[in-house]
Amino acid sequence: MRDALDATPYDALLLLSFGGPEGPDDVVPFLENVTRGRGIPKERLKEVGQHYFLFGGVSPINDQNRALLDALRKDFAEHGLDLPVYWGNRNWGPYLTDTLREMVADGRRRVLVLATSAYASYSGCRQYREDLAGALATLEGEGLELPRVDKLRHYFNHPGFLEPMIEGLLKSLADLPEDVRAGAHIAFTTHSIPNASADTSGPAEDHGDGGAYVKQHLDVARLVADTVRERTGIDHSWRLVYQSRSGAPHIPWLEPDICDHLEELHGSGVPAVVMAPIGFVSDHMEVLYDLDTEATAKAEELGLPVRRSATVGADPRFAAAIRELVLERAAAENGRAVTPCALGALGPSHNLCPVGCCPARAPKPAAAGADSPYA
Ligand SMILES: CC1=C(CCC(=O)O)c2cc3nc(cc4[nH]c(cc5[nH]c(cc1n2)c(C)c5CCC(=O)O)c(CCC(=O)O)c4C)C(CCC(=O)O)=C3C
Ligand SMILES: [Fe+2]
């Protein structure tokens, strides 16, 4: 029998995600929650609403988070790690504030947060930290004793995040017709963000020359492409491209867009493409609509064979990686020496976001970082 694992000082893990509508009546209020104070054009919102209505008003993201919760609980139980796992969202129920209130009622004092975003950026990191601060402020206003909240480091370069991604990509390549397979190009995709956010993503030392967001994605793309070459013997061409752009057209966002990229590839005689959404943790709406619907229709129009590879989702290797990250962080908090696990050229990401990491346009309190107003 294995020794029980110990996550002290932590007494709970909180899965913190985006949230999504669960039926047609939820779509408009959900989009209002997402875009409150963010200046997204009305036209774009109508369009995005249609994406959800196309799927019955249901985002797949909630079921994927339920599957991830199951995978985490199963993995923890199998390894004798007695750590309760909770779930709260930024934009739809179960709402973060309600979950945190429930955690306080259950007596949780040291909470470790797993956000469903693997990379540094305002949208993928600080915005979640702002939501945590907002939830803590609400609970403080209710006179509750606040738990201490920490956030797990970015896991984009953890083998448990990368291995399922590589396997999915190999599967998609194998699924292409044989005559075009060897010549297939890999389009690694992630969410486009404003250039200004990309340039200031990550700690200050990364700002300016593209920022941590692009650097981290390029590191993953290179690693995955290298591994595919080692395993297949084929050197596929690849590029990091972007999807799901919103915001006003005159504001520069990361480019090229996947659809423009497909057109360009077709024009230069590339025989097939695999789209690999390395920027996302699960097959949620951005993947189902922007890649599987829109970009796939574009490829069909061009007569370009295309496949889309799977995201990690609730893969048991990802759940195991989260367990390892939890134990790694617990050891660090206890002052024990640990060797953080990370592949690629960048090394393990910081445990505590430094002051000025992924700044917001308008500064707001953010928890679980060096500038947190909550210890
Ligand atoms: C970096 C990043 C991630 C990856 C990291 C992470 O996963 O957190 C991500 C994930 C997601 N984004 C999602 C949905 C939306 N994002 C929007 C808007 C925006 N996203 C942005 C960035 C990101 N977004 C940005 C810079 C905006 C512009 C407005 C702003 O500055 O805040 C809008 C408004 C309409 C639109 O413009 O599209 C929606 C509906 C969903 C849920 C999907 C589902 O329901 O299955 C998920 C997982
Ligand atoms: Fe988004």
pLDDT in tens, 76-109: 999 999 999 999 999 999 999 999 999 999 999 9
On whether 328 is known to bind a ligand per the annotation, the reply is: no
Ligand 1 pocket test, candidate residues 55, 121, 191, 294, most atoms within 8 A of CB: 191
Based on the fold, state whether residues 273 and 235 are members of the same structural domain: yes
CB of 309 sitting under 6 A from ligand 1: no
Give the CATH number of the domain where residue 70 resides: 3.40.50.1400
Q: How far is the CA of 6 from the centre of ligand 2 (A)?
A: 35
Is residue 351 situated within a structural domain? Answer: no
On whether 163 is known to bind a ligand per the annotation, the reply is: no
pLDDT at 134: 98
Q: How far is the CA of 313 from the centre of ligand 1 (A)?
A: 17
* Per-residue H/E/C for the chain: CCCCECCCCCCEEEEEECCCCECHHHHHHHHHHHHCCCCCCHHHHHHHHHHHHHCCCECCHHHHHHHHHHHHHHHHHHCCECCCEEEEECCCCCEHHHHHHHHHHCCCCEEEEEECCCCCCHHHHHHHHHHHHHHHHHHHHCCCCCCEEEECCCCCCCHHHHHHHHHHHHHHHHHCCHHHHCCCEEEEEEECCEHHHHHCCCCHHHCCCCHHHHHHHHHHHHHHHHHHHHHHCCCCCEEEEEECCCCCCCCCECCCEHHHHHHHHHHCCCCCEEEECCCCCCCCHHHHHHHHHHHHHHHHHHCCCEEECCCCCCCHHHHHHHHHHHHHHHHHHCCCCCCCCCCCCCCCCCCCECCCCCCCCCCCCCCCECCCCCC
Based on the fold, state whether residues 205 and 137 are members of the same structural domain: no
Based on the fold, state whether residues 120 and 169 are members of the same structural domain: no
**How large is the ipTM?**
0.93
The number of the ligand nearest the C-alpha atom of 214 reads 1
What are the mean pLDDT values of the chain's consecutive 10-residue runs (375 residues total)?
A: 82 98 96 85 87 97 98 98 98 98 98 98 98 98 98 98 98 98 98 97 90 98 98 98 91 97 98 98 97 98 98 98 98 94 97 96 95 91
Ligand 1 pocket test, candidate residues 121, 246, 253, most atoms within 8 A of CB: 246
Is residue 370 situated within a structural domain? Answer: no
Please give the tally of structural domains in the chain: 2
Based on the fold, state whether residues 286 and 323 are members of the same structural domain: no
pLDDT at 3: 66
Is residue 369 situated within a structural domain? Answer: no
Based on the fold, state whether residues 147 and 167 are members of the same structural domain: no
Based on the fold, state whether residues 318 and 284 are members of the same structural domain: no
Based on the fold, state whether residues 145 and 198 are members of the same structural domain: no
Based on the fold, state whether residues 225 and 97 are members of the same structural domain: no
Based on the fold, state whether residues 148 and 223 are members of the same structural domain: no
CB of 61 sitting under 6 A from ligand 1: yes
Q: How far is the CA of 24 from the centre of ligand 2 (A)?
A: 19
CB of 48 sitting under 6 A from ligand 1: yes
Based on the fold, state whether residues 275 and 329 are members of the same structural domain: no
Based on the fold, state whether residues 38 and 123 are members of the same structural domain: yes
pLDDT at 1: 45
Mind listing the pLDDT tens digit for each residue in 19-42? 999 999 999 999 999 988 777 778
Q: How far is the CA of 4 from the centre of ligand 2 (A)?
A: 39
Domain range for 202 is 159-308
pLDDT at 284: 97
On whether 205 is known to bind a ligand per the annotation, the reply is: no
What does pTM read for this prediction?
0.96
Based on the fold, state whether residues 192 and 280 are members of the same structural domain: yes
Q: How far is the CA of 135 from the centre of ligand 2 (A)?
A: 20
